[in-house]
Chains A and B, each alone.
Chain A
Amino acid sequence: MRVARYLLWRALRGVAVLLTMIALTMALYFAVETKPPVMFFFPAVSRGQPVTPAELKVVDHLFYLDRSKVGLYFDYVAHLARGDFGRYSTIDPDGKLVDVGPVAPLYLREVRATLSILVGGAILVLLLSLPLGAISGSRIGSWRDRVISFGALVLVCTHPMMLGLILRSGGGRVNWLPTTGYCPLVRGSSDPCGGPVDWASHLVLPWLTFALLFLALYTRMVRASVAETIHEDFVRTARAKGASQARVLGRHVLPSASLRVLTMVGMEIGTAIGVCIYIESAFGIGGIGSGAVSQLGGGNPFLNLPSDLAIVVLITLIVVIGNLVVDLLYATVDPRVGVERGTQRTKSLVGGVF
């Protein structure tokens, strides 16, 4: 019961974050797009003719400048609650507003690519960082610990973009794996490639890049956690009962140490999407990260409210849902959850870079 209430509380916090992000996006949009680029849609204006009221009206309508902002916000949230991300429109040569189509399909495709990198990479990180951190943390100051810790620090300083490009060059030379592009897990009629084998082989190098960067962060965290746990009474009891070092680490220390790691994983999902921007670019994968950069800061002459909102909402959803999954895991590992409400969570400091 308490666990359910805790999860509900976290879900409500997630919804609050989503609503805040939508409001923030709209506020920034209306702060930036105060003067719509009429001449972009009406070539006659760029040749020096004055803007007619009818032209101004249709452009204002396209840019949502003729709507009440509060009304627009609630309208959007209501549509979103029904799973509707809105539609694109544009202005045809006759000066009429025309509908282009729904916003969601393109971005959903990009989200699938990014999620593939995220999930596979995260599994690889866990598989590697838990044993490495345990080796390192079980004997602080040994040569193994020194090598692992120093390697982790050097990897933190390596940028994922560079790491990705180095792996890509190396992979291109060895020629075992494809080094660019993305193949969907389920092959559609228009896809040049697809299916589980193509999907995984194209993602091996991106996963490795992702894992190497986060490995550095998480190995350090697991190390600190293990070093702290290993002196607890229950560990000594296990040793006294004759458990081997592997059993002590695997059955007693790591489950306890993984709690702290789990809270961190939740905070770092946004970070991971930031890292994906670079990885997607390095391996030529059309994901939501690089899509968002080109939409929000790239070459477009103006912002486009429906697609900006779709990007922000989808990324926030990944973060919020990912956080809920982590909370669920946390609740199964540690039944004491929810006793201390409002415990502070925060990112690792290096995570702040992305």
Chain B
Amino acid sequence: MRPVGPWRAGWRRLRRDRGSLVALAAVAAVVLLALFGGAAVSRLTGHSGAEPFMYAASASQKPVGPWSHVPTPAVPRYDAYGNLLTPPKGTKSTLFLLGADGPLGRDELIRLLDGLRTSLEVGVFAMLIALLISLPVGAVAGYFGGLVDAVVSQATETMMAFPLLLFLVFANRYLLGDIRAVGWSWVVPSGVVGEAVLIGVFTAFYPTRLIRAQMFSLRSAEFVEAAHMVGATDRRILRRHLLPHLAPTLLVWGGIAVGTNILAEVGLSFLGIGVDPSIPSLGSLLSTVWGTIFNPHSYDSQAYTPWQTVFPMVTIVLTVVSLNRLSEGVRSALDPRSIR
């Protein structure tokens, strides 16, 4: 039997775990739907997610429910009081699979899929930013110890003690400046980069501590001493010998972090500092129904449908749960102590 490397062995173990495979398929489906779902549904139904439809919301601005054929007359007809009249028979109509999103009458399904993409972008970018900050800081603090370590530890301890949201709110108001408006058409909507920077910078303490702790235990390992003996520099030891050891930990952390970042994005929308409400994201879809902390809505069954809450929530749960399950599967598959 040929010897196998740790990654290949891990993949073999992962393949045998049915729950992890299901989670992997779910994560792949979520990513594919987020990237191409909106465009595909838009092509199939013949309308885009930004188009408002008059007949997709009732007079009291309550949006239509799932599986509605929304008439699309060329010229809408009104009665003497300005109320919208039902169009004549035979008017062309278009299908809203999951109903409409609110008083404007846009397609909920397309906005949900586009919103999933926005939220995933925030989640992944924020994770990468946190990684970019924590990798050098945590590695240096854990490897060299001493004063650097003391400063880093005090900083992370302080950050963890204080409510994160207040940092976010303050930084958004006073420190973020022009980053907020950065965006690139519909691919990366404006506000995504700003949010990712906010979340990434202020959640970096967690991976910093993970990396620091692992470096701390590795720095006196025999293979590090051996590298010192043959004259390797600190830089070379950090890059060639220690960083590869962090990869499994960071992979697992990354998966869970994307999930929590998506939850954080929802939180920012409820704080009123998320993406612009006109841009769909899982957070902005929910906060159009429930308001922000400055203006909480009490639920009005005349103006909202439960679907507006249910669909984003199901999407969030599905995404976060499958990311979590996959990360746990990867963790146990890459754990050298598991025998399988």
Contact = CB atoms under 8 A, between A and B. Distances in A.
A292 B162 CA distance: 12
Query: Which of A297, A319, A344 has its CB near the most chain B CB atoms (within 10 A)?
Result: A297
B273 interface: yes
A260 interface: no
Nearest to A154: B317
Contacts of A319: 161-162
B255 to A, nearest CB: 11
B257 interface: yes
A346 B206 contact: yes
A350 B263 contact: yes
A349 B260 contact: yes
Contacts of A159: 263, 266-267, 270, 286
Interface string A10-44: 00010011001100100010001000000000000
B309 A162 contact: yes
A295 to B, nearest CB: 9
Interface string A146-157: 000010011011
Interface string B137-168: 00000000000000000110110111111100
Interface string B44-77: 0000000000000000000000000000000000
Contacts of A353: 164, 260, 263-264, 267
B165 A277 contact: yes
Counting chain A residues whose Cβ lies within 8 A of the other chain, the interface size class is: 35 or more
Interface stretch (B105-113, B169-177, B240-248): B169-177
A297 B169 contact: yes
Interface string A122-149: 0000000000000000000000000000
Interface in B189-232: 203, 205-206, 209, 213
Interface stretch (B10-18, B23-31, B33-41, B293-301): B293-301
A278 B299 contact: no
B10 to A, nearest CB: 21
A315 B286 contact: no
Nearest to B262: A157
Contacts of A278: 267, 270, 293
B170 A20 contact: no
A21 B162 contact: yes
B316 interface: yes
Counting chain B residues whose Cβ lies within 8 A of the other chain, the interface size class is: 35 or more
A297 B286 CA distance: 22
A293 B298 contact: no
B321 interface: yes
B320 interface: yes
Interface string A280-309: 011010000110111011100001000000
Given A282-B296, A353-B264, A315 B163 contact: yes
A154 B314 CA distance: 9
A297 B170 contact: yes
B159 to A, nearest CB: 9
B98 interface: no
Interface in A35-81: none
A352 B298 contact: no
Query: Which of B158, B213, B257, B294 has its CB near the most chain A CB atoms (within 10 A)?
Result: B158
A222 B142 CA distance: 30
Contact of A315 (B162, B209, B291): B162
B53 to A, nearest CB: 27
A349 B291 CA distance: 26
Contacts of A293: 165-166, 169, 271, 293
B321 A157 contact: yes
Interface stretch (A93-101, A182-190, A201-209, A266-274): A266-274
A93 B156 CA distance: 45
Interface in B272-292: 273, 286, 290-291
Contacts of B264: 352-353
A298 B294 contact: yes
B118 interface: no
B324 interface: yes
A157 B165 CA distance: 17
A193 B321 CA distance: 44
B162 A281 contact: no
Contacts of B267: 159, 161, 278, 353-354
Given A157-B316, A165-B296, A296 B286 contact: no
Nearest to B283: A159
A162 B324 contact: no
A154 B162 CA distance: 26
The 5 closest A-B CB pairs, nearest first, are A297-B169, A281-B293, A274-B163, A169-B299, A297-B173
Given A281-B293, A298-B173, 8 more contacts: A16-B154, A24-B158, A158-B313, A312-B162, A315-B166, A323-B161, A344-B209, A352-B203
